[in-house]
Amino acid sequence: MESKYDRVAYPENVYLHSDGEMEDFGTGVYPVSVISRKPFHDDSINFGCFKVRRKFSTLLIIMAVILLLLVITISIGIHAAVTHQALEENTSPVCSSGTNPNGKDYGLLVQPMIEDAGSAICFEPSNSDTYLKYLNKLDFYTHDYSAIPQTGDDHVDCTNATAPEGKKCLFDIHKFGSLCTHGKDYGYKQGRPCVLLTLKMPKDIVPEVFGKDDVVTKTHLQNGVWSPDHVAITCDGATPEDKKHIGNTPYTGPNNLTEGSFYISPKEGFPLNFYKGGNTVLPGVMVGFNNLMITKNTYITIKCVAWAKNFNSGDPANSIAYTTTFKFQLS
């Protein structure tokens, strides 16, 4: 016969003992086979609207910790790399030295000079990226000597004459020779860089050339440098130490022509006729350095002089206007 107790629903956490297990179960509501209750352990956890097992949540936490550690490690690595690069940039030599030699109203000027580099020209022959900016500068300043800009009636031949008022003297770019040209990267690719010199005179002042028998001519303008109708140019190391890095080994150029330590073209210098009459074109002289012994982190200082009697009372080498000083460095 069914008792009312037979219809009692057992809770989920009830623990059923066998009849042989004697244990005081208290209330007497349940049959003998129901001995006691045990706590119910729900092996799950709620995440918002989701319910997951505790083991799975533990795995998620472990994975999150590992991911966090990985992110921290990568961040530290990136920070260290950036710091190292910044340190290298701060400690590596900067291509800047001295003041720009062209910061004057007149006198001997030199190109290529780069803004914020002072008087320094830094390059690596095997890396075109280091000297491309110098080639672009030289292209810009030699453009006026090319054929196209010198067409028209406003340009005249000043070889044996002067330019009338309002006219310009023709300057043939081929006077720069075959070594310091656009096609030969102005020598930078070969490690024998070229610079362009120009001589700007004060208004109405014409250079006076030293005589053939003058002391200056005999001491400074030998070996075909002197000309009766040109302002002579010389270049050398600025100090005895700089001169040691110029090198004395002859350089063999195109057509097996042998050059000395310096390549100067036109070798006579600046033609006097360009400074007479109404001419407004500045003649140029290319100077190539054939045997520079450049080492990293070391500047070689070069000093060039324009020679004329009326420059600094006959002593142009000790003037600021009629000399130009610049530096080379291996970057």
Domain boundaries, the chain: 1-50, 62-92, 107-330
- Quick one: pLDDT at residue 126? 92
Whole-number CA gyration radius for the chain: 44
CA–CA dist 38, 299 (Å, integer): 90
Task: Say how many C-beta atoms besides its own lie within 10 A of residue 329's C-beta.
Answer: 22
- Between the alpha carbon of residue 306 and those of residues 142, 186, 242, the distances in Å are 20, 22, 20
Helix (H, G, I), strand (E, B) or coil at 232: strand
For residue 187, pLDDT over 60 is answered with yes
Among 98-112, 157-171, 297-311, name the one with the lowest average pLDDT: 157-171
Higher pLDDT, 170 or 32: 170
- CA dist 271 and 281 (Å) reads 11
**Which CATH class for the 107-330 domain?**
mainly beta
Q: pLDDT, tens digit, for every residue of 38-90?
A: 555 555 555 455 555 556 667 778 888 888 888 888 888 787 666 656 544 44
Torsion on CA atoms 49, 50, 51, 56, rounded to nearest 10: -150
Taking alpha carbons only, the member of 85, 117, 82 closest to residue 101 is 117
Q: What share of the chain is helix, strand, coil (3-state, %, to 5)?
A: 30, 25, 45
Q: Which residue shows structure tokens 């009766």? A: 228
Gap between the Cα atoms of 148 and 167, Å rounded: 16
Which helix (H) or strand (E) segment holds residue 79: the answer is helix 54-91
The model carries a pTM of: 0.71
Q: What is the pLDDT of residues 251-270, one digit of tens each?
A: 666 655 666 788 899 999 99
Q: What is the pLDDT of residue 83?
A: 62
